[in-house]
Amino acid sequence: MNKSVIYLLFLLGCFSLQSQAQVLGCTDALAMNYNPLATFNDGSCVYESKSIRPEFSVVLDNQLHETSGLVKWNHFLWTHNDDTDTNLYAIDTISGAILKTFHLNKVLNKDWEEIAQDSAYLYVGDFGNNYKGNRKDLHVLRIEKNSLLLNQPKIDTIAFNYSNQMEVEPKNSNSTDFDCEAFVVTKDSIYLFTKQWESKMTSVYSLPKTPGNYVANYKTTFDVKGLITGATFVEDKKLVVLCGYNMKLHPFVWLLYDFKTNDFFSGNKRKIKLRLPFHQIEGIATSDGLHYYLSNENFSRKPIVSSPQKLHLFHLGNFLKPYLAGQKAQK
């Protein structure tokens, strides 16, 4: 074969390979380093700092002074307290009024910190561990939704310990990296997001969502520069939003989206500050990925600070609507 023909075929082959190769980079047009030529999101997007105010805020009933988790289901918001109280409360999405109370029999509330859901169950995380960091009874309660509505709740237990917690010796209060107040439930697993008092990071652990005793497997760690206290998940949109606050009690949310499978920190990661100083934000819930309910427990350091338990509504459409619209268009 003529050498010039061989060379031409070689060049055509190289061009074909280049045209098929993915271009890594930031694919989010809202980011400061957006690359319009990028075809594969490598998680490198960087965003300008933003802060937002709530659309509205209402004071919650005194029965909810330690409201901790939050989830939206069956037209209500559902919440609970984080100490002793073994009730679940269905509250109005506008007034925050308690509409129904459901008592869970034969269970204890040592430190309920979060509530999550899938299509058939509610999950309540009794895994708060900030007192000494040495709890050996960490678990999640799984509650069948239909039985709860009939006031005959069927409850079972998912117990666990952390795969990399080698020692469970007592520590000083609020000094462990094995506290937890946030988790999400996927089609087949539970993913925990730890509240790390020392490092101010969060680590992700996974465990099955069926009853049993498990080792929570370590996945990854990300520097959130604060304490993570809640999570909400829109699985079909590849969207997780975490809430928390820094050591000065200034709350924030982290938007995690366009990630690979359930590697939540592999995609876009954007922090939004909430203009609610001295509010101990504990719960977060959404149903559409644009509007978010957040709750804070009572926090008082009189005469300097007094923030009663409240429910807030935030609109995050300015940050998430383009992404969610793109997800819808792909279907």
**In contact, 45 and 268? CB cutoff 8 Å:** yes
Tell me which residue range forms the domain holding 56: 29-329
Instruction: Give how far Cα 211 sits from Cα of 56, 177, 192, Å.
Output: 39, 25, 16
Give dist(CA 193, CA 196) in Å, integer. 9
Average pLDDT over residues 309-324: 97
Average pLDDT over residues 94-117: 97
Mean pLDDT of all residues belonging to the chain: 93
Is residue 4 one of the residues assigned to a domain? no
* pLDDT confidence band for 11 (50 / 70 / 90): very low
Residue 123's pLDDT is: 98
**In contact, 66 and 83? CB cutoff 8 Å:** yes
- The pLDDT > 70 percentage for the chain reads 93
* Helix (H/G/I), strand (E/B), else coil: 7: helix
Is residue 115 one of the residues assigned to a domain? yes
Q: What is the pLDDT of residues 231-288, one digit of tens each?
A: 999 999 999 999 999 999 999 999 999 999 999 999 999 999 999 999 999 999 999 9
Is residue 238 one of the residues assigned to a domain? yes
Is residue 7 one of the residues assigned to a domain? no
List, in order, residues 6 or more apart from 31 with CB less than 8 Å away: 45, 46, 47, 268
Residue 20's pLDDT is: 55
Residue 171's pLDDT is: 80
Is residue 94 one of the residues assigned to a domain? yes
Residue with the larger pLDDT of the pair 15 and 135: 135
CATH of the domain at 210: 2.120.10
Residue with the larger pLDDT of the pair 173 and 155: 155
* pLDDT confidence band for 331 (50 / 70 / 90): low
Q: What is the pLDDT of residues 24-52, one digit of tens each?
A: 999 999 999 999 999 999 999 999 999 99
Is residue 2 one of the residues assigned to a domain? no
Is residue 82 one of the residues assigned to a domain? yes
Q: Of 204, 227, 271, whose CA–CA distance to 45 is shortest?
A: 271
The strand order across the sheet containing 310-315 reads 56-59, 310-315, 291-297, 280-286
Average pLDDT over residues 285-299: 96
List, in order, residues 6 or more apart from 216 with CB less than 8 Å away: 160, 161, 162, 163, 192, 205, 206, 207
Is residue 9 one of the residues assigned to a domain? no
The whole-model pTM stands at 0.92
Residue 19's pLDDT is: 42
Count of domains for the chain = 1
- The pLDDT > 90 percentage for the chain reads 85
Give dist(CA 280, CA 313) in Å, integer. 15
